[in-house]
A and B are shown apart, each in its own frame.
Chain A
């Protein structure tokens, strides 16, 4: 006497229960889905791919942006890449990576890094460029090496702009990591995209969790920015 599985009604309470305790799946097999263990697993995967992609983006974009900014050349490139990067359609990127290279963590990480590079590159460049030239000249005058100038004068002053770029990159990466399940990397987006597996409560739970994860990361980075910004620079909110 099997009743057709009733879609669990999406409700905040239902979503909350989904997060805390494993639910019996409403598709045959009686598989359990949800529960705190699975939530943690998918959250960790999303964090993993986000942080890996961010690290890769920083590795590529930061040196280039800082160098170009310090030298004062390549403005067209730095700003141009920033503008172009904003236009990259996220779904097309993930789909293309999956079709061209294949599914899996490495490929998704690369795709996400492509999204993260433009804002970091542009903001590194602009951040350094807008440092007061007289400070730089003064530092050069007292005999600092180019690298020292970058490290001790320009970089600290560029931190706010740079960190803004990192935060933008992170938001883009986290958002796109949400659809990574299309390419075989199971992030929290799996709850959202695959309603047939997790039910309506799963979808709502996934949406809430992804939103919370993104906000938490943003908060953490804002805090980091505060920490790294030298005292004299703490800006007042606009």
Chain B
């Protein structure tokens, strides 16, 4: 019995030691996505400013691929400029992201002007200016009323779109969204959960197009093509910048938005004046500079690498920054 008790005690001791050491090691380690700036910019257009090292910025993004890539691009650019950068990507949809900015959980995130105007500021789709600069000015003014601010827009714009399999479109003779009239009652539409309330999504389809669907099923944005492939969705809400639309144009099509319910929006960086002040002039300068290269074609290429080739967003963002001469 003495042997047993000794062995048992030894066992308990080993056990506790093992777990405790794991626990202590874990507690002590730095687990955030904090990336320090260990070397200066190696010759790219973005120059590292040592003053920025005092500032920590948290880059946020919404919860789909394009947003995550954008988040990575901005995060790495700011890092190259000398800031300490933390990332909190894949947060959720626009209301969650906005809430996090206001609460100071993130320094800023990339938002679409059209989403800002229609979702936050309750504009009707037809009220969204077609001109990118005009739309930006309007959104910025609205943001300022809420103690927020926004930086100038990217070259590319993106919009929601009603998409389907090419063969469905051919069978039912669908070219525009209005063509769905009379047919939509027997078709299921799959979209993101927030699509139900958005005027540039289901709400707009129901109110402005007057369409009724057999069923609307909310699913994660990442499944928007899967549900078409599996034959479960007749229609799915896609994005005009999706790489699948060009690389697999023989498989998927989007219906033309003839009533202009889905306004296109360029991306603007939403942040607070406090962060702007704390971070100094390089903050806006870097963001505006790095996004100059983001044309539609480039965004589709980046999106293709992430969504089709399943490369990590961080790597794809780094490739872009290097190729465009921002980082050395």
**Can you name 10 A-B residue pairings with CB atoms under 8 Å?**
A2-B121, A2-B123, A3-B145, A4-B121, A7-B99, A25-B197, A28-B118, A29-B199, A31-B196, A182-B219
Cβ 8 A contact of B95, one of A5, A184, A193: A5
- Give every chain A residue within 8 A of B220 (Cβ-Cβ): 182
- What separation, in Å, do the CA atoms of A99 and B196 have in the docked complex? 23
A103 and B227 form a contact (CB under 8 A)? yes
The residue from B93, B207, B217 contacting A103, defined by CB atoms under 8 A apart? B217
Which residue on chain A has the smallest CB distance to residue B146? A4
Given the contacts A29-B203, A197-B194, A5 and B218 also touching, CB distance less than 8 Å? no
Known: A4-B146, A197-B193. A99 touches B199 (CB 8 A): no
CA distance A232 to B122 in the complex (A): 67
0 or 1 for each of A181-215: is its CB under 8 Å from B? (1 = yes): 11110100010011111010000000000000000
- In this assembly, does A22 line the interface, its C-beta being within 8 Å of a C-beta of chain B? no
> Is A27 within 8 A of B219, CB to CB?
no
Known A4-B120, A26-B95; judge A181-B193 contact (CB<8 A): yes
Nearest 9 A/B pairs, CB to CB: A196-B93, A102-B230, A29-B203, A2-B122, A196-B95, A194-B193, A29-B197, A4-B146, A27-B197
Partner of A104, one of B121, B199, B232: B232
- Picked from B94, B122, B227, the residue with its CB within 8 Å of the CB of A102 is B227
In this assembly, does A222 line the interface, its C-beta being within 8 Å of a C-beta of chain B?
Answer: no
Q: Is the CB of A136 closer than 8 A to any CB of chain B?
A: no
Number of interface residues of B (CB under 8 A): 35
- If A31-B196, A102-B227, A184-B217 touch, whether A195 touches B122 (CB-CB below 8 Å) is no
| Residues of chain B within 8 A of A195, CB atoms compared | 92, 95-96
A182 to B63, CA, bound (A): 13
Query: In the complex, what residue of chain A is closest to B121 when comparing beta carbons?
Result: A2
Q: How far is the CA of A31 from the CA of B123 in the complex (A)?
A: 15
Contact across chains for A186 and B218 when beta carbons are under 8 A apart: yes
Contact A29 B95 (CB under 8 A): no
Q: In the bound complex, how far is the Cα of B157 from the Cα of A234, in angstroms?
A: 69
B8 at the interface (CB under 8 A from A): no
Interface residues in B62-97 by Cβ distance below 8 A to A read 92-96
Residues of B within 8 A of A33 (CB): 197
A60 located at the interface, meaning its Cβ lies under 8 Å from any Cβ of chain B in the complex: no
Indicate if the CB atoms of A197 and B197 lie closer than 8 Å.
yes
Cα–Cα, bound, A53→B220 (Å): 22
A182 to B192 CA separation, bound complex (whole angstroms): 10
The answer to whether B218 touches A31 (Cβ under 8 A) is: no
The smallest beta-carbon distance between A196 and chain B, in angstroms, is 4
Q: Is B130 an interface residue (CB 8 A)?
A: no
| Interchain CB contact (< 8 A) of B219 among A26, A183, A197 | A183
Contacts of A102 in B (CB 8 A): 226-227, 230-232
Q: Is B217 a contact partner of A194 (Cβ separation < 8 A)?
A: no
Knowing A25-B197, A103-B219, A184-B219, say if A196 contacts B94 (CB, 8 Å). yes
CA gap between A5 and B198 in the complex, in Å: 13
Q: Are B120 and A196 within 8 A (Cβ)?
A: no
Q: Say yes or no for A52: interface residue by CB 8 A criterion.
A: no
Contact A99 B226, beta carbon cutoff 8 Å: yes
B184 contacts chain A at the CB level, 8 A cutoff: no
Asked if B194 contacts A103 (CB within 8 A), the reply is no
**A47 is an interface residue with CB less than 8 A from chain B:** no
Given A2-B123, A5-B120, A103-B232, 19 new contacts (CB under 8 A): A4-B98, A7-B95, A25-B197, A27-B95, A28-B118, A28-B120, A28-B122, A29-B196, A33-B197, A98-B223, A101-B230, A102-B231, A103-B219, A104-B232, A181-B218, A182-B220, A184-B219, A196-B94, A196-B96
Residue of B190, B197, B199 ringed by the most chain A CB atoms within 10 A: B197
Q: Which residues of B contact A103 (CB under 8 A)?
A: 217, 219, 223, 227, 230, 232
Confirm or deny: B142 has a beta carbon within 8 angstroms of a beta carbon on chain A.
yes
Interface centre among A5, A103, A195 (most CB of B within 10 A): A103
Closest to A28 in B: B122
Q: Which of A88-128 contact B (CB under 8 A)?
A: 98-99, 101-104
**Chain A CB within 8 A of B119 CB:** yes
In Å, the complex CA distance between A98 and B226 comes to: 9
Q: Given A27-B95, A29-B197, does the pair A4, B142 have CB atoms closer than 8 Å? A: yes
B203 nearest in chain A by CB position: A29
| A127, B239: Cα distance in complex, Å | 55
**Which A residues between 1 and 19 are near B, CB-CB below 8 angstroms?**
2-5, 7
- Inter-chain CA distance A194–B92, complex, in Å, is 8
Residues of A within 8 A of B203 (CB): 28-29, 31
Which of A5, A7, A183, A196 is close to B193, meaning CB atoms less than 8 Å apart? A196
B194 to A194, Cβ gap below 8 A? yes
Residue of B122, B123, B217 contacting most chain A CB atoms (<10 Å): B122
B residues in contact with A181, CB < 8 Å? 193, 218
B226 touching A27, Cβ below 8 Å: no
Closest chain A CB from B220 CB (angstroms): 5
CA of A54 to CA of B159, assembled, Å: 43
The residue in chain B whose Cβ has the minimal distance to the Cβ of A26 is B95
Question: Which residues of chain A are within 8 angstroms of B142 by Cβ–Cβ distance?
Answer: 2, 4
